[in-house]
Structure 1
Amino acid sequence: MSSSAPTKPLARSVPSRLRIPKLHINSPIMKLGLNADHTIQVPPLSRPNMTGWWDGGPTPGEKGASVILGHNVGNGHPSVFEKLGTLKPGDTVQVTRANGSVATFQITKLEQIAKSRFPTQKVYGKLSYPGIRLITCGGRFDASWGHHVDNIIAYGRLVNGT
């Protein structure tokens, strides 16, 4: 699916569904904004199959980094991004958009990093191409904090838009 010529960015269209064939993920996407403390909202734990797109950035397929979040575990049960860390470069991610188009991305890199060292610029910063960032929690669960200590981030690049 890789091509030497860059894929042309798509027009803005809100995402509605995320598919990751390798992981058997077929998830609805909700819009996410910011919390009062300026951290990004997350999908509700009561909806383990729900992912969320940060609506402060580009839609998937537009030029720039489109960010989609999902839980790896919720209320003690596996959630949509439980196996996100098993993606490999070359795996594909498909995002269905409100206008009926599908933006297909190819994973280029996977990273597990301490939340205290979250790479904000690499995730949310400007890109010269249409990219996607899939984010979940990972690493050890710190019971005193009530959260995992790391984030798992899958980086991807648009390879096809139909």
Structure 2
Amino acid sequence: MRGFSNTAITCTTVVALGCGAWLLRSGTEHGAPPQPSAAQAHTRSGPEVPAGVPALPPSPPERVRIPSIRVNAPFMRLGLTATGSLDAPPTNKENLVGWYEAGTTPGEEGTAIVAGHVDTADGPAVFYRLGALAKGARVEVERRDGTVAVFSVDAVEVYDAHAFPDEKVYGAADRPELRLITCGGGYSKRTGYRGNVVVFAHLTGVRPSSAR
């Protein structure tokens, strides 16, 4: 699976990662999910991001933990829809994330893609606070082989649905990288969420799983 490109994904499925129905009931002013600030975006100049640690062999992910935003959720496998966009976890499973199984496994060399809902019809979902992540935050992925791949956040950005940078988000990488994706970019009663929040991270550590 090493070196696999995610170019099969043609676009994101903005609506599928958050319905926004509960915002209409609770009020968007107080219920809207946090959005990343400009300070969390990639910088155009400055020091290079550290190289990280050597890549791991392929192994499917089983659970993701993001301590700073209190995420602790199991994985399911995701494919593509009939239109070529990334599929999404079931809308009735608020604490579940999906991994694009035709691509890179988290910790392997390349770009691993993980998606989760920002909300469901009943309220906030697993990635509701994804936009509140800061650079340097830790993301841990427990893998089937008994290892935990530890990632460090490099940037958190938000994109309009009509200007989503497919290559930047899904493109191949020569080190182990991770993308976490959910809906964001503001909410419209007419069209729903306007875009996506994307977290960029790279592998910085590996440890045995305490569950083994």
When normalised by structure 1's length, the TM-score is: 0.94
Whose strand fraction is larger, Structure 1's or Structure 2's? 1
Partner residue in 1 for 2:138? 92
Out of 164, 169, 189, the position equivalent to 1:118 is 164
1:143 aligns with 2:189: yes
Partner residue in 2 for 1:160? 205
1:26-85 per-residue CA deviation (whole Å, 9 max, x = no partner) reads 000100000111111101110000000011210000011101001111114100000000
1:80-122 per-residue CA deviation (whole Å, 9 max, x = no partner) reads 0000001011000000011111000000001011011111101
Q: Any residues of structure 2 matched to 1:22-41 within 5 Å, and which? A: 22-41=68-87
The structural deviation recorded for 1:144 is 2.6
Q: Per the alignment, do residues 157 and 4 of structure 1 end up closer, same or farther by CA in structure 2, a change over 3 Å counting?
A: closer
Over aligned residues, Cα RMSD in angstroms? 1.3
Percent identity, aligned pairs only, is: 37
Higher relative contact order (CA 8 A, sep 6+): 2
Unpaired runs of at least 5, structure 1: none
Partner residue in 2 for 1:47? 93
The structural deviation recorded for 1:143 is 2.8
Cα distance in 1 between the residues matched to 2:145 and 2:202: 20
SS in 1 for 2:169: helix
Task: Assess if the C-alpha contact under 8 Å between 2:52 and 2:205 holds in 1.
Answer: no
SS in 1 for 2:88: coil
When normalised by structure 2's length, the TM-score is: 0.72
